Amino acid sequence: MAGGSAFGLGLLSAPASSQAPEKVTYLFPAPPILPAFGPIQLAQGKGYFTAAGLEVSFAVGRGGVDVAKQVGAGNAPLGGIVADGP
């Protein structure tokens, strides 16, 4: 029994790179060139998403309200907003 358990643990600890990356779309509320989205672009450029087993693509919505509606409707799993007011 112990041998089977050790084998099973080996499978669970396999690196994420052995699996196909999960495809995820991140919805920006405005053009992604804005400084507010720099950290996300930097993470993509440095390969952080890939290292986490994600294949992230980006799309642009029509403002934060649209992004919230799209994420709420299940059209995009992730999205960002930028506060426009005080």
pLDDT tens sequence across 60-79: 999 999 999 999 999 989 99
**What Cα–Cα distance (Å) separates residue 74 from each residue in 43, 56, 60?**
24, 16, 15
Which residues touch 21 (CB under 8 Å, ≥6 apart)?
A: 50, 53, 54, 55
Q: What is the pLDDT of residue 39?
A: 93
For the chain, give every domain's residue range.
20-79
Which residues touch 52 (CB under 8 Å, ≥6 apart)?
A: 16
Model confidence pLDDT, tens digit, residues 7-59: 343 433 445 557 899 999 999 999 989 998 999 999 999 999 999 999 999 99
